[in-house]
Structure 1
Amino acid sequence: MIKHVGIQGMTLVAELAAGADIDRINLIEPNGEFVGQRQVAGGTQRVSFELRPAYTPGKYRLVGLKNEEEVADVSYGIQPDLRIVDVGIGKYHPDRMWNGSSRDTDDEAFVAVKNRGTGPDIISKLLFIGDVPYPSDEDGTNYENNDRVSGIYDPSSDSEQAEVVIAAGDQVTLYSSRSPFAFVPGAGVSCLAQPQSGQFELILENQVQETKISRTYDIEYSASSEFDSCDIDIGEV
């Protein structure tokens, strides 16, 4: 009777077979808790449930009822799986940055993120920790522990955005909003007369899994006579 279940954004959608004899459908969380119920009027072919921003990943059950009797029971696993797949500096990759804004992109970064899972997730913070010119911790912009700052730029509004939803199977590009690759006197790394090398950790904070998705990169600086004029090269560890 329930022929297909899938995820669209933050919505769980169940498609019903033609002529399905069901009065309503209940959604049950992985821990067995009741989530919600949808009435099924005659001719209805789909019902949907909005997932909470911090929903519990795992196997959900859709239970179809007819006159209080269970007539259908379908399970569907909802589990996000975020992976950082690419990162770059705007100065060296202008084609990967945004268009239509007067804001300078040279010192900002793009971060490509893929959701290889079966459920959506919400990214709420973008951090650069370690040997970058202007890190996100106390050595730089110092927003690592500030819940009101995400570090994510939204070109469409020309402002910082609080969160980004990434649907199952989708890939999104995030942009930094706090110039992690700007050379600032007294903060992070500055250019020296000899080449330098180090590492930094790129971190995404997310709401569903409530864990930090991170990846470590090598970073190299060319020699320079000025504190802000060396070239930067990023490589995978």
Structure 2
Amino acid sequence: LNGSGEAIDGTTTANDDSDGQGVLNRVAVEGTSLVVELGSEAEVDQVNLIQPNGELFGRREVAAGVRQVSFEIGTAYNPGEYRVLAVQGEDTVDETSLDIRPELEIVDVGLFRNNPDKPWDEVYGESETDTKKNGEAFVTVANTGSGPEAVVELRFENDVPNPSENPRGSGIHNSDAVVIPPGDEIDLFSSSFPFGAEIGEEGMGCSITGNDGQFKITLEVRTTTQNVESDFNVQYSGSDAMHDCRIEITEK
């Protein structure tokens, strides 16, 4: 079996026969699909995809002249090693394997007042007061793994003005789930108003002399059972009101 490798565009390739003479010329995850390219001289009736548990994930018949088939794996698949079998008649004429496994990482978080170049108006709409934009945040998430993943909930916990351990909906603006293909980096925009006006006694607000705290961002995901978490230090200073507050966020 050929070993898997990471392509420049972020797709994960198990088999890459550059001269095109092999049977399984190229096998790669592209977006939420597994794409299988057959060699120019390949004689194959069907291509089978086997799950990590050994069961058949899917089968694709290969008509005469067809050189590419694909399997939609989505984001509800079981992570692990998948086997691709090229079959002619009763015989497996070629086989390769590919580890399909997402790996999400929170790489940045920021606010409108500190990151005005993000598409805030496009996301939240234009406003004379900027109240909505000032209270929301973006979270940049990278998928450094080899399979797609979907974020289904975004939470801000602990020392933010409006913590959301159980946000209404997904906590992601205008979306129930955001798919992040392997190799991609995407900005998620919040909908729970985490840095808006202080609400209740649980949140931390601003003060002229300064308030220091820590908050946690949690991503609930679909493919893997392990939530993605990251902790940050935060300082609120310069005002008693959140809309005038100086907010500094650093990695913990």
User: TM-score if structure 1 supplies the norm length?
Assistant: 0.88
Unaligned runs of 5+ in 2: 1-22
* 1:202 and 2:231 aligned: no
**Where do 1:1-237 residues align within 5 Å?**
1-100=23-122, 101-102=125-126, 104-137=132-165, 142-143=166-167, 149-153=169-173, 160-187=174-201, 188-192=203-207, 194-226=209-241, 229-237=244-252
Which whole-Å CA distance do the structure 2 matches of 1:122 and 1:182 have between them? 27
Aligned CA distance change for structure 1 residues 223 and 102 (closer, same or farther; 3 Å): closer
Aligned CA distance change for structure 1 residues 227 and 22 (closer, same or farther; 3 Å): closer
Q: CA deviation at 1:191?
A: 2.5
Which whole-Å CA distance do the structure 1 matches of 2:26 and 2:175 have between them? 34
Q: CA deviation at 1:222?
A: 1.1
> After the TM superposition, which segments of 4 or more aligned residues of structure 1 sit over 6 Å from their partners?
none
Which whole-Å CA distance do the structure 2 matches of 1:96 and 1:227 have between them? 20
* Cα deviation 1:201-222 (Å, max 9, x = unaligned): 0111111112111110001111
Which whole-Å CA distance do the structure 2 matches of 1:135 and 1:70 have between them? 55
Unaligned runs of 5+ in 1: 154-159
Which whole-Å CA distance do the structure 2 matches of 1:63 and 1:2 have between them? 9
Aligned CA distance change for structure 1 residues 68 and 193 (closer, same or farther; 3 Å): same
- Cα pair 1:11 1:50 within 8 Å, conserved: yes
* Cα deviation 1:146-204 (Å, max 9, x = unaligned): 6xx11111xxxxxx200111111011111011211002342511223532111000111
C-alpha root-mean-square deviation of aligned residues, in Å?
Answer: 1.7
- Cα pair 1:183 1:189 within 8 Å, conserved: no
Greater mean deviation of Cα atoms: 102-111 or 6-15: 102-111
Equivalent residues, number: 223
Which whole-Å CA distance do the structure 2 matches of 1:87 and 1:227 have between them? 18
* Identity percentage of aligned residues: 40
Aligned CA distance change for structure 1 residues 225 and 88 (closer, same or farther; 3 Å): closer
Which whole-Å CA distance do the structure 2 matches of 1:52 and 1:225 have between them? 47
One-letter amino acid matched to 1:82: L
Q: CA deviation at 1:107?
A: 1.2
